[in-house]
Chains A and B, each alone.
Chain A
Amino acid sequence: MGYQCPVCEKIWPDTMELARHVFGVGDQAHKDWVNSKGVNFIELLLLQTMEPGNKGYKALAEILEKEAKKVD
């Protein structure tokens, strides 16, 4: 089973990997999708680096867990 990127439809094994993909690509389309979920893309990125514990990625992964399409 995998999770499909809601923007470019690439498939990743888990939502943490998918979150890394979303931040890693970071183009306008991916930014817009994150911002449309009631959070701020840049704020999440800054959260990741201002505090220890992978917080930014975990926060995005939680959103993706609910929002991303699960594929077999």
Chain B
Amino acid sequence: MKKYSVINTPVHNIDGIAKITGRAKYTFDITLPRMLHGKILRSSYPHAEILHIDTSKAERLRGVKAVVTGKDTLGKKQGIWRRFKELCDEEILARDRVRYIGEPVAAVAAIDEDTAEQALDLIEVEYKPLPGVFEPLEAIKEGAPQLHEHAERNINVTRHIEWGDVDEGFKKADYVREDWFRCSSQAHVCMETHCAVADYTPEGKLTVYTSTQSHYYIKVLLAEILGLRENDVRVISRYTGGGFGSKFELDSAQFCSSLLSMKLCQPVKIVLTREEEFTATKRRTPMFYYVRSGIKKDGTFLAKEARVFTEGGAYTAMGATALYLTGFFQSFPYVWPSYRFDGYRVYTNTAPTSAMRGFGAPQATFCAETQIDLIADELGIDPIEIRRKNAMYPGYEVPGQATIQSCGLDQCLDKIDEWIKSRGKLPAHRGIGIAAYGFMSGGIFNWFDTPYAFSSAIVQINIDGKVDLYVGSQDMGQGSNTTMALICAEELGVKFEDIRLHMGDTENCPVDLGAWGSRETLMQGNAVKMAASKAKQQILEFAVAKLTPNIVYDLDIKDGCIHLIARPERGLSYYDVVKEAIRGKDGQPIIARGHYTPHRKGMISPAYSFGVQAVEADVDPDTGKITLKNCVTAHDCGQVINPLGVKGQLEGAIAMAAGYGFTEDLPMDEGKILNPNLVDYMLLRATEMPETTVMEVETYEPEGPFGAKEAGEGLTNPTAGALGNAVFHATGISIKNLPITPEKVLNALKEKKKK
């Protein structure tokens, strides 16, 4: 007999048909009566004082309805780390100083986009250019231009993590290795660019349709910066065309459209262009890493010291979280008896860096996994065995940081080892590299300072047995709607098709902190399971009289049948009992609430995924060109909820992470991004995708719903490291500077030949 009726069976996304038939309305598709179109004027200077803005010519242009500048704002600085006021450092519409190319300085609402665009050319901004600083290691030098008054030497955030006696560990080590790495930036490249339609009415209510990963955050941040009460702001986000970390902070489209709409009492729509998306939204954090490791000659890890400077860009954004997580995941997924991390996030006159899928962990994993293969090579130890020797295990406590409850890393290593052996002898210039990884299932620290539970859900069972499920989580394409419906159906013992999901609207959905940090399956999933369980309990109370168990807990619902757990053949129709239950409750539908907030689970996350990835690649010794052949991943995400969803996440993650590893970058000249378009920004294309295979390693995570944990972001962590190691095994050269381009490979091969 199958353990579960609904979960662990592949299903297509609950909203898939609406999406592929074009019925799904994204913010981009929203049109309201009397709607105007907005455009944003952005700074062309990386660092300058704003002396004067003259909007009069733009205001006189036929078709222009309003122009706003920083003077029309309340002058409040905002940020998502609300618990630390110093880190709320961004005004969105600059009033007296711009700090990066692309920073908004004015916005226009007009009858159409062309008119709004024309009006931007008529706005005259008088700047006084200031010296800029673009690299973190330059920005910390004495005498470097200072971006913010409060940040001496441009140091924005620091993080220190330490356990064990690191210095003693190094003394005991037989072998010590140190390396410097440079991890590059990356753009999120969501299919749907940032956009918003704001509609303010004379009654003082603001409704904002927007593409976001957290409608709750946007509601609170907008209310705060616009001087409104929280519940006078409604945020609607039914469909979001990709997020990857770029859409849970307040953005210029949301803020400027709201400001313009409040001025005009008319709806205003702003859709960022692809160029704005590249230059004026946030991006993956470039990092300069120093890693030193002390090892015994048998491969046992003893001590590790890591130091990092991250390029923060002009504002804090989610950079503080990325700094902490990169420090924590630098030690992952291994047992390091002693570890010390010092991280510094530094302000620079570049577009702000922030969250992006993996949240600092892909950078850490690239450095750590590259170094482990170099150590294994020098000590003559097999790359699988050195990892196995030091792998985390169930019950391991990361001192002062986390407790690992479920961990299938050892089984993942077995599967990858088996696959590598099955490949036999490889042709010339081909290598297989591996990387092990882990990731969080949602964050614990309440930096947003919410008074609410981290996740909430409401279940309503109707007279026909159909279920309305209200969730606060946001599906941005990752499939969380489907996951929630599956969890609800499994817990209630009904069909997947019986669930009708309501999400993406702050007016009628409970609060959830949103889709980031791989939190939805575990956190929102637990809230859904609790709500469904409470609703089920109400139904079972009505079935007790007929089935006469010793106690109500002897009953369960499965496949639409209410039965004694010990005698599943003896049962009642769920649908009949629901009718009776509703009649017995004064004709009211059955309603229950669920919630989840992690507690007593350490500093980082309540649960961690684990995995190992192998990348097989060819390297052309004449051109340096890398061709991906295979990418095989053994992944432990606890109990799989939707196997098709996991596969989708894995394939998407490989495309994104391999792009980070060897094609994508955001080169700059004095703060100006040089490739802000899809021609010059080299996204990995379908033809460059390797064969992908996912091997699930099932474990049971006690903290997760039905034992589930994350399967979204963690999958982006290993690929750059595994790819770099494949190049190392194919050629003997190790590139420590991402992305691993043909030029870097060729130059390194030439250097090697010279030696």
Contact = CB atoms under 8 A, between A and B. Distances in A.
B160 interface: yes
Report which residue of A23, A41, A42, A57 has the largest number of chain B beta carbons within 10 angstroms of its beta carbon: A42
B167 A54 contact: yes
B618 interface: no
Nearest to B166: A54
A24 B324 CA distance: 12
A71 to B, nearest CB: 22
B167 A26 contact: no
Interface string B145-182: 00000101101001010100011000000000000000
Interface in A19-42: 20, 23-24, 26-28, 41-42
Nearest to B162: A20
Contacts of B292: 52
Given A24-B160, A26-B158, A48-B342, A53 B153 contact: no
B140 A46 contact: yes
A45 B167 contact: no
What secondary structure prevails in chain B residues at the interface with A?
Answer: strand
A24 to B, nearest CB: 6
B506 to A, nearest CB: 33
Contacts of A24: 158, 160
Interface string B119-146: 0000000000000000000001000000
A48 B158 CA distance: 11
A54 B140 CA distance: 19
Contact of A52 (B155, B305, B344): B305
A49 B342 contact: yes
> Contact size class for A?
10 to 19
Contacts of A23: 158, 160
B340 interface: yes
Nearest to B292: A52
Contacts of A52: 292, 305
A28 B152 CA distance: 11
> Contact size class for B?
10 to 19
A54 B158 contact: no
A53 B342 contact: no
A53 B140 CA distance: 20
Contacts of B153: 42, 46
Contacts of A26: 158
Nearest to B342: A49
Given A52-B305, A54-B166, A42 B160 contact: no
A20 B167 contact: no
Nearest to B305: A52
A42 B156 CA distance: 11
Given A23-B158, A53-B167, A54-B166, A42 B152 contact: yes
Contacts, number: 31
A53 to B, nearest CB: 7
B429 interface: no
Contacts of A53: 167
B156 to A, nearest CB: 11
Contacts of A28: 150
Given A24-B160, A26-B158, A49 B344 contact: yes
B744 interface: no
B307 interface: yes
A41 B150 CA distance: 13
Given A24-B160, A54-B166, A42 B307 contact: no
A45 B340 CA distance: 14
Contacts of B305: 52
Nearest to A16: B162
A49 B152 contact: no
Nearest to A35: B152
Contacts of A57: 160
A24 B309 CA distance: 16
B403 to A, nearest CB: 21
Contacts of B140: 46
Interface string B57-77: 000000000000000000000
Contacts of B86: 27
A42 B340 contact: no
A32 B162 CA distance: 25
B83 to A, nearest CB: 12
Nearest to B84: A27
Contacts of B307: 49
Contacts of A41: 152
A42 B152 CA distance: 7
Nearest to A56: B342
A20 B158 contact: no
Nearest to A46: B140
Interface in A35-70: 41-42, 45-46, 48-49, 52-54, 57
B166 A45 contact: no
A67 to B, nearest CB: 20
Contacts of B150: 28
Nearest to A48: B342
Given A52-B292, A54-B167, A45 B158 contact: yes
B523 to A, nearest CB: 27
Interface string A1-30: 000000000000000000010011011100
Report which residue of B140, B158, B292, B344 has the largest number of chain A beta carbons within 10 angstroms of its beta carbon: B158
29 contacts: A20-B160, A23-B158, A23-B160, A24-B158, A24-B160, A26-B158, A27-B86, A28-B150, A41-B152, A42-B152, A42-B153, A42-B155, A45-B155, A45-B158, A45-B344, A46-B153, A48-B160, A48-B342, A49-B307, A49-B309, A49-B342, A49-B344, A52-B292, A52-B305, A53-B167, A54-B166, A54-B167, A54-B340, A57-B160
Interface of A: 20, 23-24, 26-28, 41-42, 45-46, 48-49, 52-54, 57
Given A20-B162, A26-B158, A48-B160, 14 more contacts: A20-B160, A23-B160, A24-B158, A42-B152, A42-B153, A45-B155, A45-B344, A46-B140, A48-B342, A49-B307, A49-B344, A52-B305, A54-B166, A57-B160
